[in-house]
Structure 1
């Protein structure tokens, strides 16, 4: 049976070039990178540092600003917790549309350290209300040290944050700026030297690399101020203790290099697929509703399209899977099973469409083509009939 994998926002297939370089590292470069007394350890250390240099080059950062982690969730935790513990942040401004690795962490910080957490209002279609952001910044900046944490590209509805405008506000009110950039890095242009961000996060499996490896970008002036949350070693500039995942780091580096080398073509291909899918969905499902700004090309990432299917059916995802189409109802980190509804969709559902409709996230990747969209449309036609 033909199959179409359209859940790339959850994870992407690993490129064959990445698998090859990881296999060679596992086989031939098994030394502990902290055992620099001998050649095996020095070789592993050299591989890590060369990978760090390549990663930094691809996002226009300094190598010392790249700290390897096990995933994007850990990366977000490191920044949020370190901001409170080490940078003495007393107030975190965020939105109800963030990934749970941000929302649950700020909730925990509020409980443990009495950090004030304020949520920025959401306008229609999930747009961050920048006027409200400035109002809250103005109210707090003379009283408390603040961190703004807002996702660059929403992982469920694809909305792009007006990051430069947020950056101007953060600079105006002398505020730290963190962004979950996990759907951006490797899929959308980013230049850390020009970016207003102080902190950003990435995960390799979002750009055709392996699971279990990611990194955090920490602006150079803050690197020495961050202390380890995991103690017992002095790896990663003393920020993240533990023997490094050498083959994962190599895989991340290779995947990011391949993504960035062909990023313009990569984005154009995926955007064309998304536009084709939007057109075909409108023909097939007359009452379709597009969530957020996912159907607005210049205000959302090419990879994500989110819709309301005009029928309440908890088994819709299962039926599509039986017909060879893999999609999801939202973030894979937010739920287990088919019935849990995304907190993002709940937050933006101001017309109460959830009671009669089923939310679907379709997410495209480099390995998709028009035949995958055609299979999706064919499946919808079968379900409709």
Structure 2
């Protein structure tokens, strides 16, 4: 197939070649179940999982015993949020999150509301940033958790995690962060955080594997398991471990830690080149802050065009999205851009460009040329 230029790295990334090579033996030669403790097949698999757990922990500055492997970030998010809700079953419960969170988080809280929890959805500024004074004022005696993402998947906005962690700590609250778009892209640390979700396929690992960081040696409670079974993963997540996937996630974490600084610099330059060139098109608007955001993400709105047609035409030669991959088929405007105060028509005529390892300067030049042609044609210029 003659694929278009790929600029949708926030949706998913290709498995790095080194990751695939690391995984292959665990599909056939080293095929043992990591829970089989009585023979070498199980021992080899168990050792491979332990090594990967250490590598994933290193990516976020955690201890290996604090990493629980899951099927991906959505499962990790459900375990974190619903698992804490069940700890406090029978009590009045209040949670604080934000209108611009990923749907996996928002849908979890919608479910908790059905079960009797009260949830505050913080509004954001026009650039997508949080008002920390509003966060402080939202805390109630019954508040159990603050749940705020590290970096937004649509705009790339990075929230002030250290300050949020301090607010949570000062008030004795659990702080959960969805760090899916930050892990492997920018330096992260679990300092002050109680629960953190990440996903391998966002940083050149395989799909179908993720992790939940669960802080140890702290008086705040840990979540209750959401899957019953053999008590795997210290009882937090039952089920036979996906050994090849976990091995791949460990290798991807190791690679990203080594190349992160170089990629931040390279992708920032390419992103800025793309953004500055496209903003020269009249009626083009940058969505989100230019300061505190991921180095590889650019979200732009194009006035005077129909959003669905814009996306369809651009994607003929450049693979992009109008928001989260989980909601990309929806004709509705992005809930993130709506929360930032954008009117619906302009929200639908928005494109997220997210760059990655395979992005070259020629890709940027070709993308700028194609997007300009598409916008001009749709406007009848």
TM range (shorter): over 0.9
The 1:53–1:4 alpha-carbon spacing in structure 2 relative to 1, beyond 3 Å, is: same
**Counterpart residue number, 1:118:** 120
Deviates more, 1:207-216 or 1:88-97: 88-97
Q: 1:1-385 counterparts in 2 under 5 A?
A: 3-86=4-87, 90-112=93-115, 114-137=116-139, 140=140, 143-192=141-190, 195-221=191-217, 225-283=222-280, 285-293=281-289, 296=290, 298-313=291-306, 314-322=308-316, 324-336=317-329, 339-350=331-342, 352=343, 354=345, 358-383=349-374, 384-385=376-377
* Cα distance in 1 for residues equivalent to 2:348 and 2:188: 36
Structure-2 separation of matches of 1:356 and 1:347: 10
* SS across alignment from 1:128: coil
SS at match of 2:279: helix
Alignment partners' CA distance in 2, 1:30 and 1:197? 35
Would the aligned equivalents of 1:179 and 1:201 in 2 still touch at CA under 8 Å?
yes
Distance 1:357 1:344, change over 3 A: closer
Deviation per CA, 1:327-350, whole angstroms, max 9, x where unpaired?
00000112425x232111121134
| Consecutive unaligned residues in structure 1, runs of 5 or more | none
Q: Give the 3-state SS of the residue equivalent to 1:147 in structure 2.
A: strand
Stretches of structure 2 that go unaligned for 5 or more consecutive residues are: none
Deviation string, structure 1 residues 1-56 (Cα, Å, up to 9, x no partner) = 67310000000111111111111221211111111111101111111111111221
Q: Secondary structure at the match of 1:131?
A: helix
- 1:364 Cα deviation after fit: 0.7
Residue 376 of structure 1 and its aligned partner are, at CA, apart by 1.1
- The structural deviation recorded for 1:99 is 0.5
1:367 to partner: Cα distance: 1.4
Please state how far the C-alpha of 1:310 moved relative to its aligned partner: 1.8
* Counterpart-to-counterpart distance in 2, 1:167 and 1:224: 16
How big is each residue's C-alpha offset from its partner over 1:355-377, in whole Å with a ceiling of 9 and x where there is no partner?
58601100011211111111111
Counting matched residue pairs gives: 371
TM-score, normalized by length of structure 1? 0.92
* CA distance in 1 between partners of 2:326 and 2:245 (Å): 21
In 2, Cα distance between the equivalents of 1:2 and 1:254? Answer: 27
Native 8 Å contact 1:10 1:206 kept in 2: yes
Distance 1:85 1:212 in 2: 26
How many Å separate the matches in 2 of 1:15 and 1:225?
34
Give, in whole Å, the separation in 2 of the partners of 1:6 and 1:212: 22
- Bigger shift: residues 91-100 or 54-63: 54-63
TM-score, structure 2 normalization: 0.93
The answer to whether the 8 Å contact 1:310/1:357 transfers is no
Q: Which whole-Å CA distance do the structure 2 matches of 1:344 and 1:215 have between them?
A: 25
Contact 2:179 2:196 in 1 (8 A): yes
